[in-house]
Amino acid sequence: MWAAMKIDTPSKELLFATVRISNRALGTVGTGFIAHAPIADNLFVPLIVTNRHVLERTDQLVLGFLAKSPETGEPRYGERRDVAINGDTWIGHPDPQVDVAVIPIAGIINAISDLFYRTIPTALMEFTEDEIFIDAVEEITFIGYPSGHQDPFHLTPITRRGISATPIEMPFGGKKMFLVDGSVFGGSSGSPVFLLNEGTYRSGPTTVSAGNRMVLVGIIAASIQQLTDEPVVANYVPHIALARDLDLGIVFNRHAILETIDAYLTRFGQKRVSVANQAG
C-alpha cells in the first residue's frame, strides 16, 4: 500500500495551488493558480489567476479541484471536485493585449467545504531588485496541465523546468512579458512561473547563499510560432501550442498579474495592501 505524500516543503505546497480549467465551448483545458490578496489585517480576497484566452468564448467553465477529506483535512488523491461557473465570471487586465485574468472564488470556497487547495500570497510577487537578486539567466519552474495531462492516479499537476530566455525583469519588446526556453504545450496556459531554489541560490552578482528562494515571476501565456518584423507572433487560439522550432514560451510578468488583481479589487472598492510574511 502506498503512503500519502506529506505536504511539508514549499515545492510540495505548490502542487496544490493550481486548478485545471476546462472551457466547455472550445473543448480546451488550461491552468489557473490560486492567489490571495490582502485587503486588511487578516482579511484576504481569494482569486484564480489564469489567461484571458483560457476563459473566453464560452458560457461555462469547469474548475477542477482536488477533494479534501472532511475527517482529516488532507487531500483525497485521485478524487476531483469539479465546480461549474458561468463563463463571464472573470475580469481581465485593463489592457486587452495583456493576457491575464482573474476569477473570484470566495463564494465557491465558502460554499463547498471539501475542496483541497493551497493559495499563493501576492507577497511572493512583491519584491524589489534590492530584496531579490535576479540574474539575466535563471532556472524557472512552472506547474500546470500540459495538453490537459496530470497524474491520472493522484490528479496532481505536472511540474516542468526551463530557463529564462530573456531577462525576467526586462520587458521583452517593451511589453509586460519575458521569454522562457522550455517545452510549453497547450494546457500550460495559466501556469505560474517560479524561481524555486532549495539549498543554495545566487543572491548577488558574486555571492551564493545557503537556504531557499521562492518567488513568483510570471504566468505562462503562449508560445512563439515564428519571428517576423514584429517582436512576437504568438498563438493564442484555441490554446497555446508547442513551439516546434524555437521552443520558446511567452510569460507575462508579475507586474501584469498584480495589475490584474488590483483592477479586480478596484472595481469592487477594495485595495490591495502590503502585508509582510503573508501566509498561504
pLDDT tens, position by position, 173-206: 999 999 999 878 878 999 999 999 877 777 888 7
Residue positions counted in the chain: 280
| Percent share of the chain, pLDDT over 70 | 89
Query: Is pLDDT of 232 > 60?
Result: no
Band of pLDDT at residue 207, cut at 50, 70 and 90: confident
Query: Is pLDDT of 280 > 90?
Result: no
Average confidence score pLDDT of the chain:
89
Q: Whole-prediction pTM value?
A: 0.90
**C-alpha to C-alpha distance for 89 and 95, rounded to whole angstroms:** 18
Per-residue 3-state assignment (H helix, E strand, C coil) for the chain: CCCCCCCCCHHHHHCCCEEEEEECCCCEEEEEEEEEEEEECCEEEEEEEECHHHHCCCCEEEEEEEEECCCCCCEEEEEEEEEEEECCCCEECCCCCCCCEEEECHHHHHHCCCEECCCEEHHHHCCCCCCCCCCCCCEEEEEECHHHCCCCCCCCCEEEEEEECCCCCCCHHHCCEEEEECCCCCCCCCCEEEEEEEEEEEEECCEEEEEEEEEEEEEEEEEEEECCCCCCEEECCCCCCCCCCCCEEEEEEHHHHHHHHHHHHHHCCCCCCCCCCCCC
CA-wise closest residue to 65 among 185, 161, 145: 145
User: Which residue would you say has higher pLDDT here, 278 or 129?
Assistant: 129
- Burial grade of 48 (CB within 10 A; 0-12, 13-18, 19 or more): buried
Query: Is pLDDT of 33 > 80?
Result: yes
pLDDT value at position 66? 97
Domains of the chain, CATH where assigned: 10-123+258-267 (2.40.10.10), 124-254 (2.40.10)
Q: What is the pLDDT of residues 134-157, one digit of tens each?
A: 999 999 999 999 989 999 999 999
User: Which residue would you say has higher pLDDT here, 226 or 221?
Assistant: 221
**C-alpha to C-alpha distance for 121 and 125, rounded to whole angstroms:** 8
- What's the Cα-to-Cα distance from 14 to each of 55, 87, 110, 242, rounded to whole Å? 22, 26, 21, 24
Query: Is pLDDT of 163 > 80?
Result: yes
149 CB contacts (<8 Å, ≥6 apart)?
Answer: 158, 187
Which cell is 8 given?
511539508
CA-wise closest residue to 219 among 167, 156, 142: 142
Band of pLDDT at residue 3, cut at 50, 70 and 90: low
Query: Is pLDDT of 227 > 80?
Result: no
pLDDT value at position 87? 95
User: Which residue would you say has higher pLDDT here, 93 or 243?
Assistant: 93
pLDDT value at position 275? 58
**C-alpha to C-alpha distance for 50 and 63, rounded to whole angstroms:** 12
Cis peptide preceding 238, ω within 30 of 0: yes
Q: What is the pLDDT of residues 108-124, one digit of tens each?
A: 999 999 999 999 999 99
pLDDT value at position 230? 45
